[in-house]
């Protein structure tokens, strides 16, 4: 419903369920974008709860990503979960790890190549059995769980979800403070 409401705002507003992220280059432009979105919400007889709103933020956490200032990077909370995931022992554990790390495949160069030994371990008829962990398996798991495998996507477009302009990847560690 929110997506239909914001069809005319698709260049600067990204809806997801009942969340809306608005991105702009300049502050004055952001005020205009914000007014447009709020008018659309008002025209649809919908309301917002001010205590749940964040206006004019340089960066926001949105759908497991930190988005803003021409960059998109994984949320540190999710990265910590990947980093602290115990070594998988069963196929169920491997699926859980790949699901968690696989949420961010765009941030990991050659994700599918690195993850290949883990996905190979899922082959076979036994669905829940203990897996044989090879040296390649351990190397793949350690590579995916290390912070230095994650990258920031630097975009040259305001709309960080635009798929027309490919982002560039810049290696950064988000665990070092």
Q: pLDDT at position 103, please?
A: 84
Q: What is the pLDDT of residues 116-160, one digit of tens each?
A: 999 999 887 776 778 888 899 999 999 888 854 566 555 444 444
Task: Give whole-number Cα distances, 11 to 6, 18, 82, in Å.
Answer: 10, 18, 33
pLDDT values of the chain reduced to their tens digit, one per residue, 177 residues: 676 777 788 888 888 888 888 888 888 888 999 999 999 889 888 888 889 888 888 888 888 888 877 777 788 888 888 889 999 999 999 999 999 888 878 777 788 898 999 999 988 777 677 888 889 999 999 988 885 456 655 544 444 444 443 444 444 433 333
Q: pLDDT at position 108, please?
A: 78
Q: pLDDT at position 48, please?
A: 86
Q: What is the DSSP letter of 48?
A: -
Is the separation of the CB atoms in 121 and 132 below 8 Å? yes
Is the separation of the CB atoms in 141 and 97 below 8 Å? yes
Place of tokens 């070594």: 87
Is the separation of the CB atoms in 79 and 150 below 8 Å? yes
Q: Structural domains in the chain?
A: 7-72 (3.30.70.270), 75-151 (3.30.70)
What CA–CA distance (Å, rounded) separates 65 from 67? Answer: 6
Q: pLDDT at position 11, please?
A: 83
Question: What's the gap between Cα 168 and its chain centre?
Answer: 15
């Amino acid at each position: 419903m929110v997506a239909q409401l914001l069809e005319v705002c698709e260049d600067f507003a990204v809806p997801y369920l009942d969340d809306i992220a608005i991105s702009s280059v300049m502050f004055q432009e952001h005020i205009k974008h914000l007014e447009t979105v709020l008018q659309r919400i008002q025209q649809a007889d919908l309301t917002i709860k001010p205590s749940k709103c964040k206006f004019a933020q340089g960066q926001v956490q949105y759908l497991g990503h930190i988005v803003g200032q021409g960059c998109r990077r994984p949320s540190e909370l999710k990265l910590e979960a990947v980093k602290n995931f115990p070594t998988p022992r069963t196929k169920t554990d491997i699926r859980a790890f790949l699901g968690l790390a696989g949420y961010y495949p765009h941030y990991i160069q050659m994700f599918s190549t690195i993850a290949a030994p883990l996905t190979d371990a899922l082959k076979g008829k036994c669905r829940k059995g203990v897996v044989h962990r090879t040296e390649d398996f351990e190397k793949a798991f350690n590579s995916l769980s290390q912070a230095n495998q994650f990258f920031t996507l630097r975009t040259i477009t305001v709309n960080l979800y635009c798929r027309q302009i490919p982002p560039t990847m810049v290696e950064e560690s988000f665990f070092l403070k």
